[in-house]
Amino acid sequence: MIFIYPYRHYVVSFLLLSMITMVSQLFRIELGLINIALIHLIPVIVMALRGNMGSTMVVTAGSVVLFDLLYVPPEYSFDVHDLTYIWSFFIFFAVGYTISAQAKRIQANTIKEIFLSTLSHDLKTPLSSILGNASLLLKDQMYDAATRREVLIQINDSGQRMNRLVANLLDSARLQDTHSALRKEWCDFEDIIGVALQEFRYNPKESQISVRIDPDLRLFWGDCALLVRLIVNLIDNALKYTDNGKQIRLSVTSDAKTIKLICFNESTPIKKADLKNMFDRFYRIDHMGDIGGSGIGLSICRDIVNAHSGVIEAYNIQNGVCFEIRFSVNKLPSERLKELQ
Amino acid sequence: MKVQELILIIEDDDAISKMVSLSLHQQGYKTLVTPDIKSALRLLNANSPDLILLDLGLPDGDGKGLIKTVRSELSIPIIVVSARHEEKEVIASLDAGADDYVMKPFSIDELLARIRSAQRRFLGLQPMVNVILCHEIKLDIEHHLAWNGDELLKLTPTEFNLLKYFILHRNQVLPYARILKDVWGVGYQNEMQYLRTYINTLRKKIETDTARPSYIQTELGIGYRFICEHFDNTISLEKD
């Protein structure tokens, strides 16, 4: 089923077209040409309501072709003697276009609503932790040093989490804008991973992360700041789902045409459907319970990888989960560097 | 008794300026807080602060003008405070004469470390010496030799010059273009790939874990900083 999923709109279109052809052929005499034309609008409207412009246009063309071929005299040919039918073709396209544009707008609003509700949840959780813990400290009761420290660690953690979320939102806005917003320069993945790891230096699980980088890895032409966010989000995600003492391994390898980045963490396998969908915005793996993540981290990973014309996928291996990213190398650094004398 | 040093904080957010001055008081500094550039210029004339902490996002405009004014009249360190995504502003401020920067949100420890290191640099020029020790790294400038612990490092001339440049400007934020100009020469300011490549090879020779570097820190979007907290230029070179 997973292979079909990206083409689901087209599968539905095909089924619809077959169905209306069957009905029209069976009741051809009873229905008459005008009603048959109206029936041929059904697939157009159904597909348009899904808000997918591409499949709508395909189904419209299919509908028009079938109608012309099978019912418009002369039948079984594309010749059209009466010019009014040409107009009906245009009307078909106009209907399809208008409805799918409207549907898209409505969908965008729904996404905005989900966005706002997720966002307010993800911001409010750390915020209430900060406020609650701060008010504990403000009360004049004297807590012992260990408790105070625990409370402060909580405040610090929540602050860090909010900081990461805000960074993600800013990047997300930048990526939604256009691709021209990328600030590309020569990036060294070792450098990038180093900066990303800095962000977790106070995390007790940081030492569980091991890094292996191809010694002759070349520089990569990309937006270094975004690539850092990519690694930060991958590590953040891996840390969330990795128990104490278990391993997280980051590796970067390359060949002539690609740079491959793998983030592996020891954990229970992820369900097949989740593997595919977890890069969607605000998708949460429910059975994992509330680990305090936001659905935005992995979707930003996907956006950043896409902006660099790369591919990101997740898969299970024997004792854990791998996130694999492949960037194709389109621009090579020049081989000759000026060596000082 | 040591005179308390005065730090001028130019920051329009009350919560942040309160927090910063509170922590600076604890460390034995005196502070003066002002929310905008106009009043900052007035305060600068009336008092003589020992260090300036300047927020780049002030309502009445451009901090760079202030940096230039201060630079032309006073010899005191300036540290700029900036928000994320403002790397260009930071670089412009560093070029205008600011000494260092911290990015919001910053920790107080980070800020105090920057203040101390900026002050140390302003205490006076280092005496010219030929042998410098920085943690495990020992540099013999006269003979172009470098050691990591007991191991003699095999460095190319560029790597050596880069390392020397870093150690001479230790703990200081060094924008990419400045390193390229000072190490490679005028005309190489934009050759980022040179810098990235040589940082990579130099790290392989001096860092224990190149993904968690302890000497060469990357300041994302701005430049590099060579960390050297235990520094010694008084050692003599043993002859082997």
DSSP readout, A226-257?
Answer: HHHHHHHHHHHHHHHT--TT--EEEEEEE-SS
Domain annotation covers residue B239: no
Lowest mean pLDDT among A119-128, A171-180, A288-297: A288-297
- Spelled out in words, what is the top-level CATH class assigned to the domain A184-328? alpha beta
Instruction: Tell me if B188 and A194 make a contact (CB, 8 A cut-off).
Output: no
Do B58 and B83 lie in one domain? The reply is yes
C-alpha–C-alpha distance, residues A78 and A66, integer Å: 10
B22 contact partners, CB below 8 Å, separation of at least 6: none
Would you tell me the crossing angle of helices A84-138 and A145-177 to the nearest 10 degrees? Answer: 160
Do B59 and B153 lie in one domain? The reply is no
CA distance A321 to chain B (A): 22
Do B48 and B66 lie in one domain? The reply is yes
Q: Is the dihedral of CA A13, A17, A20, A23 positive or negative?
A: negative
| pLDDT for the residue B1 | 42
Do B158 and B113 lie in one domain? The reply is no
Query: Among candidates B88, B13, B22, B91, which has minimal Cα distance to B58?
Result: B13
Domain annotation covers residue B163: yes
| pLDDT for the residue A339 | 67
Average pLDDT over residues A82-97: 80
| pLDDT for the residue B240 | 40
Number of domains into which chain B is organized: 2
Give chain B positions within 8 Å (CB) of A219.
193, 196-197
Answer whether residue A337 shows pLDDT above 70: no
Q: Residue A269's pLDDT band (boundaries 50, 70, 90)?
A: confident
SS3 A131: helix
Residue scoring higher pLDDT (B77 or A107): B77
Do B85 and B19 lie in one domain? The reply is yes
Cβ atoms within 10 Å of A231's Cβ, excluding its own? 24
The C-alpha torsion from A285 through A290 and A292 to A297, rounded to 10°, is 10
- The answer to whether A248 and A209 have CB atoms below 8 angstroms apart is yes
Task: From B71, B92, B122, give the residue that closes a domain.
Answer: B122
Query: Among candidates A109, A240, A111, which has minimal Cα distance to A164?
Result: A240
Give chain B positions within 8 Å (CB) of A167.
84
Do B108 and B204 lie in one domain? The reply is no
A82 contact partners, CB below 8 Å, separation of at least 6: A72
CA distance A161 to chain B (A): 12
Do B47 and B88 lie in one domain? The reply is yes
| pLDDT for the residue A323 | 95
Answer whether residue A292 shows pLDDT above 50: no
pLDDT in tens, B193-202: 899 999 999 9
CATH 1.10.287 for domain A118-179, yes or no, is yes
Domain annotation covers residue B89: yes
C-alpha–C-alpha distance, residues A189 and A209, integer Å: 16
Answer whether residue A287 shows pLDDT above 60: no
Q: What are phi and psi of B132, to 5 degrees?
A: -125, 140
Q: Residue A183's pLDDT band (boundaries 50, 70, 90)?
A: confident
Answer whether residue A286 shows pLDDT above 80: no
State the CATH number of the domain containing residue B17. Answer: 3.40.50.2300
**ipTM confidence score:** 0.80
Instruction: Tell me if A333 and B193 make a contact (CB, 8 A cut-off).
Output: yes
| pLDDT for the residue A1 | 45
Domain annotation covers residue B147: yes
Domain annotation covers residue B60: yes
C-alpha–C-alpha distance, residues A112 and B230, integer Å: 53
Answer whether residue A259 shows pLDDT above 90: yes
Instruction: Tell me if B210 and A194 make a contact (CB, 8 A cut-off).
Output: yes
For B190, name the nearest residue in chain A, comparing CA atoms only: A185
Domain boundaries, given as residue ranges, for chain A: 5-106, 118-179, 184-328
A71 contact partners, CB below 8 Å, separation of at least 6: A24, A28, A33, A36, A37
Mean pLDDT over each residue of chain A, to the nearest integer? 82
DSSP collapsed to 3 states, chain B: CCCCCEEEEECCCHHHHHHHHHHHHHCCCEEEEECCHHHHHHHHHHCCCCEEEEECCCCCCCHHHHHHHHHHHCCCCEEEEECCCCHHHHHHHHHHCCCEEEECCCCHHHHHHHHHHHHHHHCCCCCCCCEEEECCEEEECCCCEEEECCEECCCCHHHHHHHHHHHHCCCCEEEHHHHHHHHHCCCCCCCHHHHHHHHHHHHHHHCCCCCCCCCEEEECCCEEEECCCCEECCCCCCCC
**Largest Cα–Cα distance in chain A?**
94
Give chain B positions within 8 Å (CB) of A218.
none
- Interface test with chain A among B207, B218, B219, B222, by most A beta carbons within 10 Å: B218
pLDDT in tens, A139-180: 867 788 888 888 888 888 888 888 888 887 777 777 776 555
Task: From B105, B122, B139, give the residue that closes a domain.
Answer: B122
Do B110 and B16 lie in one domain? The reply is yes
Do B13 and B101 lie in one domain? The reply is yes
SS3 A310: strand
Do B12 and B117 lie in one domain? The reply is yes
| pLDDT for the residue A164 | 81
Query: In chain B, which stretches have pLDDT less than 50?
Result: 1, 238-240
Answer whether residue A108 shows pLDDT above 80: no
C-alpha–C-alpha distance, residues B137 and B150, integer Å: 9
Task: From B75, B97, B122, give the residue that closes a domain.
Answer: B122
Domain annotation covers residue B240: no
- The answer to whether B50 and B9 have CB atoms below 8 angstroms apart is no
Instruction: Tell me if A340 and B105 make a contact (CB, 8 A cut-off).
Output: no
Lowest mean pLDDT among A87-91, A170-174, A335-339, B31-35: A335-339
In angstroms, the Cα distances linking B23 to A66, B1, B16, B20 are 78, 21, 11, 5
- The answer to whether B118 and B99 have CB atoms below 8 angstroms apart is yes
| pLDDT for the residue A291 | 47
Q: How many A×B Cβ pairs under 8 Å?
A: 69
Do B10 and B118 lie in one domain? The reply is yes
Nearest CB to B199; choose among A191, A228, A338: A191
Q: Residue A118's pLDDT band (boundaries 50, 70, 90)?
A: low
C-alpha–C-alpha distance, residues A53 and A240, integer Å: 38
Range of the domain at B143: 131-232
Do B100 and B178 lie in one domain? The reply is no
State the CATH number of the domain containing residue B191. Answer: 1.10.10.10
Strand stretches in A134-242, DSSP E: 185-187, 209-213, 220-222
